[in-house]
Structure 1
């Protein structure tokens, strides 16, 4: 065997290592997340990272994010160039950042890597849209300077941001103005920021894919049995507690019965039962039908005496939730509340 052969193999291996490039200097949430998302994919898992504003470094890289003033969906994923108006799809109005661009092209594959749902295209499609709504769109908006509200009096937000307070956290990981401002310092801090926002992203995807999505089946089963529970069809009993509000609204709409569910019953962690009113809309504090005013703020025997139902535990003073010791008791509370 030639003495040169190991060196040739080493050179070949080095040449196969892919290179990701983003800009140097101060960093933001969008490119920190974009780099992290790429590295979730097998193709880019072992890629090197170059942070540079030098066009020669862009040319020598395999993918370039948030720099280069070019977007082609293949190698260049920048959004700063004049005339850039790309959105996630025709439904969304928020202009994409580098995170949104990477997610738009690789999102389904990224989700498949996180929750191992590569073969179920219907699940991937549902989560692809949901993850964008829940976290990516807000990062796109933040980086592009888009306000959550269209104007000062508009009560309808343009996008959701409950999953992120991350842009400011990432920004605060930049080196301070009065400490080491070398490229090495920025590069070191960028890797920390990428891990912070990347892990938050992974947790959102896992929550949606492994918790939120399976909950849909629980809510659907309760909805399909609603007339068995009560002739009005306005009371649902969950076989087990699961996040139900988002799913309920969508299921109601698909059955042309939006607004008709008034109470949802489920067991709590202590094996007591809860009766929950249904908000008018997601995030609203106003309910479709609050629990009776004369029950509100009462507990135990006082509540049982006032309602005529044995085994009551409480009704919240605001009338949006209550509890009892058995399923039969909360169902009776729901029936009386109708």
Structure 2
């Protein structure tokens, strides 16, 4: 049954191309990490031979090597998962890129390209080339996210690597500023080149995250000012519907009983007769102005006034006046 389910599923051309992009992205990360390790090892070796005593910098480079090894392990596992056809079919179904084909047979389960949908069934081939490329890059990121979501240890490992990279980024800036500015010092030049190359590629790697942080940081002061403006412009004494209902509920909510309601025993909003133990809210504007609590709650979401006499309950002064009038009527 499971084999038949796999055989009957086909994926769009957009999905296949996006999987290839995922492989290239993962391979690019592996190459980058290997280059980081080689550069750091060479620099540590030269520093040892030349007696460059930058203890903080050497420690920083050792941590860079350890972090790079962790990234190599992470992306190697990710590349293996990207090559697993059943996993990709499940991811494709989550991303709505799977097309079902009846009475189909697959002789080889080795690669996702074997599950490419028929051109007549695949709508993604109709995309213009420019739009196709944009969607391909976006879908590639979604595929990697879905694979990480399925395998939670990889997801947490990626978050851990991200935090380490940010720590190394900050530490690298600090070391770069602390190094004495002596143009004749070869140790300093090699160190700064290594640090700045690492910082450049780290910024490129997490550019979307940094841009989001910058945008949020720039917009946050304006958002705070807008909230302050709304708070200042809000009329004094105004209450929202939930607060008004809570205040009225404490004093005027009753369980229906014939001797507790004056006038016709029906809700003036839904026009339904009250049943025993129904929750009824008697508004203080008049004894006969009573409604199902559910009905008046929905009404107050739209209009903060009595549905019958239109007395406003929007501000504290109006509420006090209504209660005072109700007390006078009772007397």
- Normalised by the size of structure 2, how large is the TM-score? 0.22
- Normalised by the size of structure 1, how large is the TM-score? 0.22
Higher helix share: 2
Which of the pair has the greater relative contact order for Cα pairs under 8 Å at 6+ separation? Answer: 2
